[in-house]
Structure 1
């Protein structure tokens, strides 16, 4: 469920390309014949919205139409408004350029990136960093996960990774870079001892 929460939070934040990644990772965990239609629909829906925003009209329309067929079996994820919006997108592939898609809810609640905690926050930050080709943030997520495993929830890398996810602030990115560099130097110093 953590990957689904991460994907939906990214989608609700308007990071449609990044939202696709955690949803697809979760979908691929299941054997081919047992994959959930709902996840397939959400994956296609995020791609449809992304393509619409990028001006790929035919890709957006085709994915929107296909996604609707999968979104009927989404139990805890309320996809009714999204399905209606995707129907409109299939008919008007420019819809995404002038109208935002509806928010998604899990068990009636809108999930935002601000709601996420680790491990879902790490999954979301990693997906966002991958879409931005940001190797520093990818390393920060790994260090933050390691700190959490070591029971260090107050690590600056944990806090800054959450900040990176919640707001697009160059100062947060700079501080993450500084902490990652320090950690890399510390790791190199320890390696040099052996």
Structure 2
């Protein structure tokens, strides 16, 4: 999986979880990186960048519709159609025809984005679910949610470090990994962060107790 796909899938996992505003964060991060690359080579926007911009504006249209900003939702839906219009039926394995159909409706009837379930954005035929994603994709989702909900950045950051270390050591049943997936899935995020904090405290206490065992005075 290359860098663009990782950020793309992270945003799609957040979108699938109903986090339409947070979904823009990984997409925008990679969109900005690709823009710098395009500027260096003197080229126009790449198809990957157009895809990401179209998805960002799709999620923004849904967000505005759900806050009652019909004009903003309609304008963003029309703009998103423009970015996605020059791409094929799929790009980067993302199914775009259903998205374009949805956007055409929202551009004319923005209330539809609030009244109806938003279009599922499929990757290789199915929506992206954080529960079945790799850890690095989940970590990107979590980082976006930390900013979205002002979660305890230090605790979550340490949990990501410990989860990554556990996987490197072959501990697939790491509580850090399972709780970080739960954090993306929704529910009581304050409780999930508290549980992560408890595990972080225990791990740090255990590691600090081991550090001095072999010191020689």
TM-score norm. by structure 2 comes to 0.76
Q: Which runs of 4+ in 1 moved over 6 A?
A: 186-192
In angstroms, what is the RMSD of aligned CA positions?
Answer: 2.6
Q: Deviations over 1:17-65 (max 9, x none)?
A: 1111111112122124544211110111111111111222222111111
Moved more, 84-93 or 154-163: 154-163
Structure 1's 91 and 138: CA in aligned 2 closer, same or farther, altered over 3 A?
farther
Per the alignment, residue 116 of structure 1 pairs with: 133
1:174 and 1:83, CA in 2 relative to 1: closer, same or farther beyond 3 A? same
Work out whether residues 82 and 104 of structure 1, in 8 Å CA contact, stay in contact via their aligned partners in 2. yes
User: Which protein shows a greater Rg?
Assistant: 2
Higher-helix-fraction structure: 1
The 8 Å contact of residues 78 and 104 in structure 1, kept in 2 or not, is answered as yes
The CA distance in 2 between the partners of 1:80 and 1:2, in whole Å, is 22
Displacement of 1:141 in angstroms is: 2.8
For 2:184, the equivalent position in structure 1 comes to 165
Cα distance in 2 between the residues matched to 1:142 and 1:55: 39
SS where residue 117 of structure 2 aligns? coil
Q: Which runs of 5+ in 2 are unaligned?
A: 40-44, 213-217
**Matched residues in 1 for 2:128 and 2:68: separation?**
27
| Superposition TM-score, scaled by structure 1 size | 0.84
CA distance in 2, matches of 1:97, 1:167: 20
Unmatched runs of 5 consecutive residues or more in structure 1: none
Question: In 2, are the aligned partners of 1:126 and 1:141 still within 8 Å (CA)?
Answer: no
Q: Provide the residue aligned with 1:175 in structure 2.
A: 195
Q: CA deviation at 1:93?
A: 2.2
